[in-house]
């Protein structure tokens, strides 16, 4: 079994990837008209390198790509992969399985692939021609081809017999050899023309060759001098590199020390920042306490001013009471003088005197209370002044 598998995608009616497995015992593909049997044969022809649109039943490459339907968009490319069994080595390659593929695009370009490697069409044709399985070897016979063969003229039937006898392969070799021979003749002719063109310039070319030899000698000397110079520069660079590495090591050590010192400073700075934050909180608390004390002092000063005003009022009241007391004393003296003259009115006068005494006693009691209140105010004011001084 040589034809093992055929994978078709986007070829004519095969929109999705379709795989045909040709196992043992499969000798034909059958189906109703319009089911796509001929499309399978066309796919085989196309993957083998067929270029004729008439044999593929298409005018151009774009016609073999799935054109779309009412429920499915058209395809942008077509790909057919032909897998051949080469376990008995009938193909001249050292692999048990050969997968020949052809990929086409709507632009008209085609890619040929053998075992996932891009190749040219000539390579595929050469490989399949050696195995008598090319697209022109009548390995694929389409509809009406048998009748056409029977109706061939003798010279056309001769070509068919030569194809069946595998003469085409040697014809291809002869054509390739003739092409190479023709190319060789063309190369010889070009060489002759070149020699004919160069002959008048041989003297100039000899001078140029001599100059080229001198140039080569000078180039070697220059190369040797440059090599010596570069070696000297390299040694100096190595010495500079050693010094630079030593400086780098020293700088690295200093950097490590500086890094350690920086970390220490950062820790000290963090501690100082923490202490500063504590002092700030303490200062804020002190400021709040000071504000409270200032408010207390203002309250005490206000109370002291009130006490001073009350003291002034009490002093004024005390003066008034003292004046009233003198008036009462004068009235008492006048009453005593009149007591002798007016004995007859004694009872009435004694009653009035008693009333006056009671009023005097009440006034004395008021004066005593005012004096006590004045003394208390003086004491409270003195205490406030002392506390204010202490604050």
Going from the first residue of the chain to its last (391 residues), give the mean pLDDT of each consecutive group of 10, the final group possibly shorter.
84 87 80 82 83 74 81 86 85 85 86 89 75 55 64 74 66 81 90 79 78 88 89 89 89 89 88 89 86 86 85 83 81 74 66 73 75 73 74 71
What is the Cα–Cα distance from 63 to 12, expressed in whole angstroms? 8
CB atoms near residue 132 (< 10 Å): 16
Query: Does 123 map to a domain?
Result: yes
Model pTM score: 0.41
Query: Does 250 map to a domain?
Result: no
pLDDT at 165: 64
Q: What is the DSSP letter of 153?
A: -
Query: Does 248 map to a domain?
Result: no
* CA angle in degrees (0–180, nearest 5) for 39-16-53: 30
Query: Does 11 map to a domain?
Result: yes
Which residues have CB under 8 Å from 76's CB, separation 6+?
65, 105, 106
pLDDT at 354: 76
Domain boundary among 135, 164, 183: 135
What is the Cα–Cα distance from 161 to 94, expressed in whole angstroms? 30
CATH code, 35 = 3.40.50.300
What is the Cα–Cα distance from 65 to 62, expressed in whole angstroms? 5
Give the domain extent around 304: 295-390
Alpha-carbon distance values, 41 to 11, 122, 219, 319 (Å)? 11, 21, 68, 146
What is the Cα–Cα distance from 256 to 34, expressed in whole angstroms? 86
Alpha-carbon distance values, 204 to 116, 194, 207, 244, 254 (Å)? 55, 16, 5, 56, 70
Query: Does 145 map to a domain?
Result: no
Domain boundary among 95, 117, 135: 135
What is the domain count for the chain? 2
Q: What is the DSSP letter of 321?
A: H
Query: Does 381 map to a domain?
Result: yes
Alpha-helical segments (H) within 29-144 = 37-47, 121-130
Query: Does 212 map to a domain?
Result: no
pLDDT at 140: 63
What is the Cα–Cα distance from 55 to 48, expressed in whole angstroms? 13
Query: Does 158 map to a domain?
Result: no
What is the Cα–Cα distance from 373 to 385, expressed in whole angstroms? 18
Domain boundary among 79, 103, 135: 135
């Amino acid at each position: 079994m040589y034809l093992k598998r055929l994978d078709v995608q986007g070829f004519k009616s095969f929109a999705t990837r379709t795989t045909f497995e040709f196992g043992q015992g499969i000798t034909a593909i059958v189906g109703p008209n319009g089911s796509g049997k001929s499309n399978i044969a066309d796919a085989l022809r196309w993957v083998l390198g067929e270029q004729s649109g008439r044999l593929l039943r298409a005018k151009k490459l774009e016609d073999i790509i799935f054109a779309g339907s009412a429920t499915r968009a058209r395809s942008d490319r077509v790909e057919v992969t032909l897998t051949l069994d080469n376990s008995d080595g009938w193909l001249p390659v050292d692999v048990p399985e050969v997968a020949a593929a052809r990929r086409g695009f709507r632009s008209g370009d085609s890619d040929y692939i053998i075992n996932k490697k891009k190749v040219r069409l000539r390579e595929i044709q050469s490989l399949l021609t050696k195995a008598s399985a090319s697209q022109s070897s009548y390995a694929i016979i389409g509809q009406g081809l048998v009748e056409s063969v029977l109706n061939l003229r003798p010279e056309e039937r001769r070509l068919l017999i030569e194809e069946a006898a595998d003469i085409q392969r040697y014809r291809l070799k002869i054509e390739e050899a003739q092409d190479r021979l023709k190319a060789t003749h063309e190369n010889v002719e070009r060489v002759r023309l070149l020699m004919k063109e160069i002959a008048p310039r041989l003297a100039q070319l000899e001078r140029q060759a001599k100059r080229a030899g001198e140039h080569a000698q000078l180039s070697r000397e220059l190369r040797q001098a440059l090599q010596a110079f570069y070696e000297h520069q390299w040694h100096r660079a190595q010495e500079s590199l050693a010094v630079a590495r030593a400086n780098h090591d020293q700088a690295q050590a200093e950097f490590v020390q500086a890094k350690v010192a920086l970390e220490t400073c950062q820790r000290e700075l963090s501690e100082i920042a923490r202490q500063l934050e504590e002092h700030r909180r303490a200062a804020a608390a002190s400021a709040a306490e000071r504000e409270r004390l200032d408010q207390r002092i203002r309250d005490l000063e206000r109370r002291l001013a009130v006490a001073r005003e009350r003291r002034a009022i009490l002093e004024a009241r005390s003066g008034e009471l003292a004046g009233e007391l003198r008036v009462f004393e004068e009235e008492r003296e006048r009453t005593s003088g009149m007591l002798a003259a007016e004995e007859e009115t004694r009872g009435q006068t004694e009653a009035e005197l008693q009333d006056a005494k009671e009023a005097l006693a009440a006034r004395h009691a008021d004066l005593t209370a005012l004096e006590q209140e004045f003394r208390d105010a003086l004491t409270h004011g003195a205490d406030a002044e002392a506390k204010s001084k202490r604050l």
